[in-house]
Structure 1
């Protein structure tokens, strides 16, 4: 029997040490590397956004490209925390993905082991907070990546994961020899390599580039900085010019002491709005000229920054409340479609990381599934369905033209699930047929045959002969009625015309012979009943 260590080496390409992640977490203080890594948990953020300048921002971004990610990602955290526009729009984008319904399905043409792996994965995920998992992975939209540590547990021989834990981005750095390889920061020059099986290493391509430049926050950093400058300048303007200017006037022959007294009163009034001055002096309050137009300059700059951030995060402005208010109905629909295209891209990237780093390891360890392509697949249902009214109107036209449309496509586009075996389904209500008389007449012969089969008792041969005689006698009358109705159907030009012909035909059908035969049949039945009664008396 293949051991767990051998299975890891064969399926996941690791060595015997890779098994550590199944029994402990790499960031635990009591692990082999805990003495080097444990200091990460005792670090405090340095908040590089404090006193941020263009020169300092450029230096932070440049250091990140050289592998030192700590300052950049602490700045990104500050941006989400301090900027309500960035925090709200990114939160909306993450939440729209997290609230979607999830499902785990087997690969196409799954064998028995792959189906069992899918069932086990679905059971594991039903015990997780999947919404929290998606929100944690969503932090990669701004940062460009997210690393979640995996706690493993076991139930007998079955290995499974518990709730993944998002680790702060500031805990990591880039390997100096590989700009696309992330390591844990320690006291070494390269950092500690992440354990196989121990992490979900999500890379979110919100923009092109290698890891240090992949985050959307790098695009948002400059509007964030410019808006902070504009906001600071506006606050300073309001502080200086927001209040009326206080001017004190003194007489020509005022002494230095009187001037000092007036100045003290003016300063006190500017702060306390009250004071006293000697008689003969006056204080005037003058409104600053042009203060409104000066404030508009800063407001214009701030509004531009807000629109730039909304475009970068949501693909438009009208879904974030930063639009200019023109053509909001039409443009809002366009912007919403652009936003949904971003959400669809996000959920596909989340699903890929979950399948690669969670579903495949569980399937490989527990069921020996060697290829990642045969692992269970994780889906978030974005609910992309077509208008049912449009489908109902268009599909019949294409089918009439000869188009061969598969039923799975219809169910996918309409969002209507396919009925499983044994489930009750909706059916079309039965419509009254204009050929009811024809159907009833055609049904007479089977009913007579059933009577022959249901009465195989006493005098069976004699009764069968009687029924055959009656059926043969009634046949010409029934055929005459059927022929008359068939002629009406053939000659009718429309359903309305057919209805009128049948009404006229009702009084012309040859019923005399049929009535005579029915009378004979009833008389025969009466005589047969009397015969049976006499036989019972005897």
Structure 2
């Protein structure tokens, strides 16, 4: 079969030709399964953000991005770089990022760019997120604005609206909303909380049971009931001497209450997993190991959100350069985390320098994140050196302060304790699941290879340094205490 070049050009599979597509509207409806099931628009998701747990997770997720540093890569033209940097310094970047990240919650977010002519340049002075309900997509997945004059929507002007979407594709240009994954959990949590309050009101307090003689008249029974009602409000009641009132408590109310508590916890767990990608760090029962694993999952989601934000700003930068500048290399908007210097390693390196160790420029750049040209390595005279006195005599120029040795020992204990506790907790969990001591011994043999000793290796480096300093300090103490040794030295 001969392939014709004209057959390779253009799109063949389109909605207009598809046998399963037919719409009386001129725009594509949102295929979100939750919204379709309820017959509602996307405003339904906005209501559940008022839930305390949903709102807390949303704030935490956005804060992970807003806490990052940002920069604009240079274009090669110094004047253009200065204008772009000054422009972004004036824009409320944190507020814009907050609006862009609504795309992760609702699937998509349109932001209108307000342009203004400044000194012959057409520059954005504001970027404002607009409600999702105002926008739809046409059959070619182009953004359209619904108005009073045309509820089916009109195509938006070029370079006027930025569009942020999460996992949007040809089948679903609206993107995938994370709030859809936790909508039912938040809804049932709200309903379950209501029933839990009713349960607590009904069974949380003891019941008053009045006893009356079998031959009592109906009005006497009513009087006894009235007395018990007054007793609930005033704790005082007057009853006949042949009647009695007892307090009864439900023996099973704690177990029934636990059912509600477990249900609400499950709903909260589902919400955290949907928005944060993990549940461990939001629960008090989480141990250090599970919390650390949860944070690693969150970093993956944070990186995806950062890419979404960078894509929107990069589109804005491309428009700015197209309208105003002629540059060979388009600038990019980068989000990055300011790496914190490992204090323990910095202290160790400083002490090693005091012993005479000289680090290369490559080591400092690799370890502390310096870039080429940031630092100049100079030779430093060590505080502690071996100085020859005569032919075979050496002397310590300066003794190591005992406070330094003590501080290193304390640091070693602080750094090593979490890893040891994590191992012990893992072993305890395994012991609780073992059927016998023999079974536990076999499980322990298979468990040990799975324990992570990588981080502990760093602590052992501290131990080696401590032992080295302790040895030198011991020699110095002996030399100071023994006059004969000092003379021989």
Structure 2 regions of 5+ residues with no counterpart?
1-31, 349-360, 395-489
Contact 1:206 1:216 in 2 (8 A): no
| Count of aligned residue pairs for this structure pair | 352
2:311 pairs with 1:352: yes
Aligned pair in 2 of structure 1 residues 312, 90: CA closer, same or farther (>3 Å)?
same
Give the whole-Å Cα distance in 2 for the aligned partners of 1:502 and 1:287. Answer: 88
Match of 1:97 in 2: 65
How far residue 208 of structure 1 moved from its aligned partner, in angstroms, is: 11
Matched position secondary structure for 1:164: strand
Which of residues 301, 324, 328 in structure 1 aligns to 2:285? 324
Give the whole-Å Cα distance in 2 for the aligned partners of 1:139 and 1:199. Answer: 15
The correspondence of residues 133-532 of structure 1 with structure 2, limited to 5 A, is: 133-172=96-135, 174-175=136-137, 177-178=139-140, 181-205=143-167, 210-212=172-174, 214-270=176-232, 273-320=235-282, 322=283, 324-325=285-286, 328-356=287-315, 358-368=316-326, 374-383=329-338, 411=365, 414-419=368-373, 425-429=376-380
How far residue 377 of structure 1 moved from its aligned partner, in angstroms, is: 0.6
Contact 2:141 2:170 in 1 (8 A): no
| Alpha-carbon displacement from aligned partner over 1:498-521 (angstroms, at most 9, x marks no partner) | x95999xxxxxxxxxxxxxxxxxx
Which of residues 35, 43, 51 in structure 2 aligns to 1:74? 43
Give the whole-Å Cα distance in 1 for the aligned partners of 2:169 and 2:200. Answer: 39
Match of 2:425 in 1: none
Give the whole-Å Cα distance in 2 for the aligned partners of 1:354 and 1:276. Answer: 76
| Alpha-carbon displacement from aligned partner over 1:219-247 (angstroms, at most 9, x marks no partner) | 11121123223222212211211121222
Contact 1:385 1:413 in 2 (8 A): no
| Alpha-carbon displacement from aligned partner over 1:473-511 (angstroms, at most 9, x marks no partner) | xxxxxxxxxxxxxxxxxxxxxx999x95999xxxxxxxx
How far residue 367 of structure 1 moved from its aligned partner, in angstroms, is: 1.1
2:87 pairs with 1:87: no
TM-score under structure 1 length normalisation: 0.57
Give the whole-Å Cα distance in 2 for the aligned partners of 1:352 and 1:386. Answer: 29
Aligned pair in 2 of structure 1 residues 278, 213: CA closer, same or farther (>3 Å)?
farther
Contact 1:385 1:412 in 2 (8 A): no
- The more displaced of 291-300 and 268-277 is 268-277
| Alpha-carbon displacement from aligned partner over 1:295-325 (angstroms, at most 9, x marks no partner) | 10111111112122222222222332x2533
Aligned pair in 2 of structure 1 residues 226, 206: CA closer, same or farther (>3 Å)?
farther
Match of 2:92 in 1: 129
How far residue 193 of structure 1 moved from its aligned partner, in angstroms, is: 2.5
Aligned pair in 2 of structure 1 residues 311, 348: CA closer, same or farther (>3 Å)?
same
Give the whole-Å Cα distance in 1 for the aligned partners of 2:276 and 2:66. Answer: 16
Aligned pair in 2 of structure 1 residues 417, 206: CA closer, same or farther (>3 Å)?
farther
| Alpha-carbon displacement from aligned partner over 1:382-425 (angstroms, at most 9, x marks no partner) | 2368979989x9xxxxxxxxxxxx97x984774213326xxx73
How far residue 75 of structure 1 moved from its aligned partner, in angstroms, is: 2.2
Give the whole-Å Cα distance in 2 for the aligned partners of 1:183 and 1:131. Answer: 26
Larger radius of gyration: 1
| Alpha-carbon displacement from aligned partner over 1:362-397 (angstroms, at most 9, x marks no partner) | 11111145x9xx421111112368979989x9xxxx
Matched position secondary structure for 1:336: helix
How far residue 339 of structure 1 moved from its aligned partner, in angstroms, is: 1.5
Matched position secondary structure for 1:319: helix
Contact 2:137 2:173 in 1 (8 A): no
Runs of 4+ in 1 over 6 A off after TM superposition: 206-209, 385-391
Give the whole-Å Cα distance in 2 for the aligned partners of 1:183 and 1:220. Answer: 28
2:26 pairs with 1:60: no
Matched position secondary structure for 1:427: coil
Give the whole-Å Cα distance in 2 for the aligned partners of 1:80 and 1:501. Answer: 78
Aligned pair in 2 of structure 1 residues 431, 289: CA closer, same or farther (>3 Å)?
closer
